[in-house]
Amino acid sequence: MGEIRPAPGTVLNRDFRATAANATWLTGIAEFPIPAGKGYLAPQLGCFDGWCNEVRIITSREPCRPVVHRRRLGIAA
């Protein structure tokens, strides 16, 4: 089990706007069960235009050898 740490400081100060493309991105991760164990979904959103730039789906049959499926997108979030 992982260790609990204090939350990191905020760099954006909850201002999720960007003045230029590729300047600020947001990401998160969600865990979900799959037949092989666990899967993780990690989308990446651009703050300049609100588009979902990339989605990563991570699966693993062995904890030390994850398989990353990466897809660059061109769809609006």
The encoded tokens of residue 25 equal: 């991105």
Alpha carbon 76 to chain centroid, angstroms: 16
Neighbours of 49 (CB within 10 A): 11
Domain that holds residue 66: 27-76
Domain assignment present for 22: no
Could you tell me which residues are beta bridge partners of residue 62? none
Domain assignment present for 57: yes
Domain assignment present for 58: yes
* Threshold 0.75, pTM exceeds: no
Domain assignment present for 13: no
Domain assignment present for 8: no
User: What is the number of domains present in the chain?
Assistant: 1
How many angstroms separate the Cα of 75 from the Cα of each of 7, 25, 33, 69? 31, 15, 26, 18
Domain assignment present for 4: no
Domain assignment present for 67: yes
Output the tens digit of pLDDT for each of the chain's 77 residues. 568 888 777 777 878 888 888 888 888 888 888 887 788 888 888 888 888 888 888 876 666 666 666 766 654 44
pLDDT of residue 77: 42
